Chain A
């Protein structure tokens, strides 16, 4: 079945609350794109030109609607003066932390908020952003996952222990991280114009695999609200929010965030497979777009027919969202997935995701 719209037209339609030809597809592909174009995954994170080209070609080859971007979950350690490794060795699939820049509460006191123009991976993200801009694609910058970033700076177990033993130290660190994210947002929006930018945020350390909702309320919510309201205030209209892994218990806070921000701007919610689409529609459906959450490991292990069935089910449930739906995967698509299983997303979108 032929597509009648281009990816840009399709996304624009969803963002404006209109119905495109079919549901758009954003498969949350990062490392997988490198595999498709026969590059080491390291290049996807270390070489902006190769990364942009790999992401673009992969999207073109399948016909999905996501545009290139730069983000990884170990963000923060390098930017604040630590060290990360790029995934060039077999078995490695994303940047990994070699040295955390903070080891003690005194280090937190001494920690300086870095200049975003020079900090860690930001120059790489900026190069990719420039290529997106030149190619008339949205510019995506990473902003908002304060606790994950603080954990990457201070080492997760240390930070989590401080949440109980020394909460003021965590707040001190979180404040610096929030300040940094706001500076990053200013850097990107002043370079390209806020209307060309989209913010991406999403952190695994915020998940209820690690912290309880009360801790989310104390150590995440205020900073998230601060950053999001600043970013929206700069004129960024779209925030792609990925509450990674199981965040069901945090859901009331995300709803509170949207309420307290006056349901400003458009959010695209990309929850993990743990959060049923029906629940998401109930919480955000009147205002926001829901991105699908097909189970990521299934792409690596299940048959094409099974993955197709999962995608069909996701479409049938997600398409009911009154403010728009994008077929998506619940977290990064595993780089070792057989290529045919990614095609299942496209086939499902074209066969079961047509709008009349």
Chain B
């Protein structure tokens, strides 16, 4: 029964079926399944499958956006039922696309996967001025700042932002991603982490902060 409901949640996230997803979320609560477990083992698992399918070319962005809609609808139902130990302060990620770059579809997928994994994401949007990343990281006491860039022309501002974050908010960790970046470049830029896609971004973020979101 429990497995069936969790699988139902996962499948309806993958197929982007909002109604079914909400139905399974309600069923989960009725069956006494822990809301946190339903989110992690149902919704988040669904998003991981979606992300893997995108990387393999089995799913494309329009379908992913519908999966996201379904996942958020189920989370609305489940979140109010989270037990106190799971509603404690989630880890904060400040995320944005760097100055001069409006390619934000990839960043939005990273945000989605991070939220599914339990991070609180403060989304600064696209074409974000350097100072804004730093100011918000300081103001929010961010655990991680994630910088996305899709162009070789825009990614060059990253070392400057990272340096400033290290100076003004030494505890904040930084990670970078986006088409033209690589582990080598990330290292050269002084970033603490690099991820090539959205599901890897979650793994890297988790490993940076030593475990759970």
- A residues within 8 Å of B by Cβ? 31, 74, 87, 89-93, 96-97, 156-157, 160-161, 163-165, 208-212, 215, 296-297, 300-301, 334-336
Contact = CB atoms under 8 A, between A and B. Distances in A.
Q: Which 3 A-B pairs have the closest CB atoms?
A: A91-B100, A92-B100, A91-B99
Given A31-B153, A93-B100, A96-B100, 9 more contacts: A89-B100, A92-B100, A96-B102, A157-B104, A164-B65, A210-B61, A215-B60, A297-B152, A334-B151
Given A96-B127, A161-B69, A164-B66, A91 B60 contact: no
Contacts of A300: 152-153
Nearest to B98: A91
* Majority secondary structure of chain B interface residues (helix, strand, loop or mixed): loop
Given A89-B99, A92-B99, A160-B65, A210 B60 contact: yes
Nearest to A85: B127
A215 B151 CA distance: 26
B153 A334 contact: yes
Contacts of B69: 161
B90 interface: no
A164 B154 contact: no
Nearest to A245: B179
B66 A212 contact: no
B208 interface: no
Contacts, number: 74
A296 B151 CA distance: 10
B105 to A, nearest CB: 6
A336 B152 contact: yes
Contacts of A93: 100, 151, 153-154
B153 A336 contact: yes
A160 B62 contact: yes
A300 B185 CA distance: 14
B113 to A, nearest CB: 15
A157 B65 contact: yes
Given A164-B16, A297-B180, A334-B153, A211 B62 contact: yes
A297 to B, nearest CB: 5
26 contacts: A31-B153, A74-B102, A89-B99, A90-B157, A91-B99, A91-B100, A91-B153, A92-B99, A92-B100, A93-B154, A156-B105, A157-B108, A160-B61, A161-B66, A164-B65, A210-B62, A211-B60, A211-B61, A215-B60, A215-B62, A297-B152, A300-B153, A334-B151, A334-B152, A335-B153, A336-B152
Interface string B87-122: 000000000001111101100100000000000000
B108 A164 contact: no
A163 B62 contact: yes
Interface string B66-81: 1001000000000000
A90 B127 CA distance: 12
A205 to B, nearest CB: 9
A87 B101 CA distance: 10
A212 B152 contact: no
Contacts of A211: 60-62
